[in-house]
Amino acid sequence: MRRFCLYAAVVAGAAVMLFPFLWTVITSITPDGSLADGPKLIVHNPTVDAYRTLLDAMPIWRILVNSLLIAIASTGFQLITGSMAAYGFARLHFPLKNVIFGCYLATLMVPLQVLVVPLFIEMKTLNLQDTYFALLAPTIASAFGVFLLRQAVSAVPAELDEAATIDGAGHLRIFTTIVLPLIRPALATVAVFAFMGSWNSFLWPLVVIRSPEFMTLPLGLSTLQGQFTTQWNVVMAGSVVSIVPIAVIYLLAQRHIIAGVAHTGIK
């Protein structure tokens, strides 16, 4: 009976979490005229007209490519900078290391809204606004990624480093051939969080981008909502398009994410 109650609670929680996604998909295939009757879970005349309207309303493929390129580049830079900084904080010894790491972690408490104005002034001063670099620059490093990867590097036995040092390996060799292969689950976790954060970013692209050719997916979807009326089936179709890549990446990396979170002790 106890196991039954546990499974029932898990199933109920999963249903609550999945319901918004199910409703999004159903609304995207609902005829526009049927939406006036209120939300529904059963569609009698499903149609993909909303997806056709979405293709006609904006250059969706260009927007998808922009979001994909920025998300991949941001994820790659965060993995490189985060893993190298994590190795430095976990393995190297230098003055005020813990103080510097604490100050770095303190930046997690600073919301993006506070940084938007100085970042925009910086990009405008450098004449970089309305460019791909402006979208990418603030996301090349992540304090959360450094923290998570530092925990993973600290869990790697130091005896492996000592054995490699005796064999003549330097820090770069130890980092690339010993540490990185052993923290792959944590790297996968950081990669998913970084990709998801860049893919869903809205405020910073809204501030720094003006040209349609540099527009990302969240910014493009915001243009679908009209001032007086909104075609919600088209909006939901765009939401489905934005959800699919994240869902696929998470499903592919799910095993590594769970292992990475468990390995680094983050509960």
- 122: Cβ–Cβ under 8 A, 6 or more apart, which residues? none
Domain boundaries, the chain: 1-34+42-47, 48-264
Cα angle 68, 116, 128 (rounded to 5 degrees) comes to: 65
> What's the pLDDT at 267?
46
pLDDT at 34: 61
Look at the pTM and tell me if it is higher than 0.85: no
Q: Which CATH architecture has domain 48-264?
A: Orthogonal Bundle (1.10)
Q: For 173-228, give the DSSP string.
A: HHIIIIIHHHTHHHHHHHHHHHHHHHHT--HHHHHH--SGGG--HHHHHHTTB-SS
- Please state, in angstroms and as integers, the Cα–Cα distance from residue 55 to each residue in 232, 258, 267, following that order: 15, 36, 42
Q: What is the pLDDT along the chain (267 residues), one digit of tens a residue?
A: 899 999 999 999 999 998 888 888 888 888 865 666 666 677 777 888 888 888 888 888 889 899 999 999 999 999 999 999 999 999 888 898 889 999 988 988 888 888 899 999 999 998 988 889 999 988 899 899 999 999 999 988 888 888 888 888 888 999 999 999 989 888 988 988 899 889 989 889 999 988 888 889 888 888 877 655 677 788 888 888 888 888 888 787 777 666 656 655 544
Residue 107 three-state SS: helix
Angle between the 184-199 and 60-91 helix axes, to the nearest 10 degrees? 140
Position 69 scores a pLDDT of: 92
